[in-house]
Amino acid sequence: MAKRRVIHTAQAPEAIGPYSQGICCDNLIFTAGQIPLDPKTGKLVTGSFEDQVYQVLRNLSGILSTGGSDLDHVIKFTVFLTDLNNFAALNRVFEKYFATDPPARSAVQVSALPLGAEVEIEAVALRP
């Protein structure tokens, strides 16, 4: 039977609703969608769209690390954007993190995200 464990970390923002930051299930980790919230201040990161994506990846990294994994073990990202015109900027950040053998990824435009964020990303990763 699969074992399920909740991930909770101060390295990512607290959940802003009735959900967990992440869930470990055997050798997989499923993260909740992360927006560019600074976990120390609880406020959205201001600055360029790229700065916001970097913050989201730091948040995801914190969750994955607490669960026993890292960004290098991500199998799939799902990205939600409020403006697909930011797709090229998203790719620039991802190229820096995943220069070779990048994970699978979907990116879709949505009408709105929590707290007025411009980007939200969720991940599925392996636990090595």
Domains identified in the chain and CATH numbers: 4-126 (3.30.1330.40)
Looking at residue 16, its pLDDT comes to 81
| Section 43-59 average pLDDT | 96
At 100, the amino acid letter reads T
Looking at residue 34, its pLDDT comes to 98
Question: Which of the four pLDDT bands, split at 50, 70 and 90, describes residue 70?
Answer: very high
Say which residue, 17 or 55, is predicted with more confidence.
55
| Section 64-82 average pLDDT | 98
> What is each CA distance from 107 to 20, 65, 80, 122, in whole angstroms?
22, 24, 6, 11
Asked if 69 and 61 touch (Cβ cutoff 8 Å), the reply is no
How many Å apart are CA 116 and CA 64, to the nearest integer?
A: 25
Q: Positive or negative CA dihedral for 19, 22, 28, 34?
A: positive
| Residue corresponding to tokens 């976990």 | 39
| Residue corresponding to tokens 């399920």 | 4
> What is each CA distance from 6 to 19, 27, 48, 60, 117, in whole angstroms?
10, 13, 32, 15, 25
